[in-house]
């Protein structure tokens, strides 16, 4: 079944054409509890992981509580290119895999440690049958297996990321509606913009090359305000994941190289 976000109550770009320079698309994933296979896009589902490739482990030393090292990571998301128009991986790849260490990391702001992998499905001739699982997890970081129902939507950048004069006029005209109903899709998504509701925009610069990073993927505690609930159904917390006190974990990638590490921000 498809999932359909209702049209925005009004078109902000019709009121402020300058917003046309601050727009992009996002693919809302609309996870719903199910039984995804390795050949499916999923949240918390099994990954198309090659039998011969080591499973990612976390050997970080910044865990909130001491844990046995190394800790196997867990599948968070798998997105096939054909399911998501905003898939933006290296040429030739057609699967994005997101894993994380499901424990609090001090250096990550008490959040999971995220890694992403891009691969070509046809390269995986034999799938790892039984990935290792961690001995300890924070249950709130373990997504319930969900199938996804991708849908592309248009977004406009966070108000604090707009040029000052434009931001002032948008704020005067729309107030907080701009942030909550008119500009940024909540929930699990690929691409789009971050909603910097906690801190206002932080510089997200690549640790390897310094380039400003762009939003790759969002893991969310909820599917957001009522105006964004799809017309077909509206579970608010389909995956059971909780980030902080109900926030989102934004995963940023470097536009200069897919080899450079991702970075995260909780908002
Ligand atoms: Zn860890
Ligand atoms: Zn970089």
Q: Which of 236, 241, 218 is nearest to 226 (CA)?
A: 236
67 pLDDT band, cuts 50/70/90, is: confident
The number of the ligand nearest the C-alpha atom of 207 reads 2
Residue 258 alpha carbon to ligand 1 centre in Å: 22
Distance 20 CA to ligand 1 centre (A): 40
Band of the pLDDT at 95, cuts 50, 70, 90? Answer: very high
Asked whether residue 258 is assigned to any structural domain, the reply reads yes
CA distance 78 to 44: 8
Nearest ligand to the C-alpha of residue 65?
1
Range of the domain at 19: 12-266
Q: What is the mean pLDDT of residues 199-210?
A: 94
Is pLDDT above 90 for 64?
no
Q: Parallel, antiparallel, or unpaired for β 263-266 and 214-220? A: unpaired
Mean pLDDT value across residues 1-7: 94
Lowest mean pLDDT among 67-76, 151-160, 205-214: 67-76
Give 210 Cα–ligand 2 centroid separation in angstroms: 6
pLDDT for residue 68 is more than 80: no
Residue 4 in domain: no
Tens of pLDDT, residues 207-216: 999 999 999 9
Please state the domain count of the chain.
1
Cα of 131 vs centre of ligand 2, distance in Å, is 30
Cβ within 8 Å of residue 13, ≥6 positions away: 19, 20, 23, 156
Cβ distance 144 to 239 under 8 Å?
yes
The alpha carbon of 115 and the centre of ligand 1 are apart by a number of angstroms equal to 11
Percent helix, strand, coil in the chain, to 5, is: 15, 30, 55
Residue 205 CA to ligand 2 centre (angstroms): 8
Whether the per-residue pLDDT at 251 is higher than 90: the answer is yes
SS3 245: coil
5 located within any domain:
no
**CATH code (residue 40):** 2.30.320.10
CA of 141 to the centre of ligand 1 (A): 12
Q: What whole-number percentage of the chain has pLDDT above 70?
A: 100
Q: Is residue 1 very low, low, confident or very high in pLDDT (cuts 50, 70, 90)?
A: confident
CA distance linking residue 110 with residue 160, whole number of Å:
25
Mean pLDDT of the region 93-113:
96
Query: Is 164 a member of any domain?
Result: yes
169-185: pLDDT as tens digits: 999 999 999 999 999 99
CA of 234 to the centre of ligand 2 (A): 38
Residue with tokens 């997200």: 204
**Ligand 1 mean position, distance from CA 33 (Å):** 26
Ligand of minimum distance to the alpha carbon of 252 = 2
Ligand closest to the CA atom of residue 210: 2
Strands lying side by side in the sheet with 146-147: 32-33, 146-147, 42-43, 74-80, 95-105, 111-119
Residues 6+ away with beta carbon under 8 Å from 247: 198, 221, 266, 267
Average pLDDT in the chain: 96
Cα separation, 166 vs 18, whole angstroms: 8
Find the 73 Cα to ligand 1 centroid distance in Å. Answer: 8
Assess if residue 176 is contained within a domain: yes
Q: Do 156 and 53 form a contact (C-beta atoms < 8 A)?
A: no
Give the number of whichever ligand sits closest to the CA of residue 208. 2
């Amino acid at each position: 079944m498809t999932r359909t976000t209702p049209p925005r109550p009004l078109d902000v770009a019709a009121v402020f054409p300058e917003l046309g320079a601050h727009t992009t698309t996002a693919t809302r994933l609309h996870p719903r509890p199910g039984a995804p296979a390795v050949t499916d896009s999923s949240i918390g589902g099994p990954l198309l992981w090659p039998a011969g490739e080591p499973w990612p482990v976390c050997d970080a030393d910044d865990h909130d509580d001491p844990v046995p090292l190394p800790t196997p990571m867990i599948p968070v998301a798998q997105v096939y290119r054909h399911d998501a128009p905003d898939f933006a991986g290296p040429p030739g790849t057609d699967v994005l895999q997101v894993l994380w260490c499901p424990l609090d990391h001090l250096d990550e702001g008490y959040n999971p440690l995220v890694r992403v992998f891009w691969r070509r499905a046809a390269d995986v001739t034999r799938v790892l049958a039984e990935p290792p699982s961690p001995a300890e997890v924070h249950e709130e970081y373990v997504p319930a297996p969900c199938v996804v129902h991708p849908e592309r939507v248009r977004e406009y950048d966070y108000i604090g990321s707009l040029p000052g004069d434009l931001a002032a006029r948008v704020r005067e005209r729309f107030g907080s509606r701009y942030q909550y109903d008119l500009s940024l899709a909540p929930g699990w998504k690929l691409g789009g913009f971050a909603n910097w509701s906690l801190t206002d925009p932080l510089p997200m610069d690549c640790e390897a090359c310094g380039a400003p990073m762009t939003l790759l993927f969002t893991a969310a505690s909820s599917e957001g305000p009522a105006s964004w609930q799809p017309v077909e159904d509206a579970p608010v917390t389909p995956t059971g994941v909780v980030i902080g006190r109900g926030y989102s974990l934004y995963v940023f990638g470097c536009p200069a190289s897919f080899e450079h590490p991702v970075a995260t921000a909780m908002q």
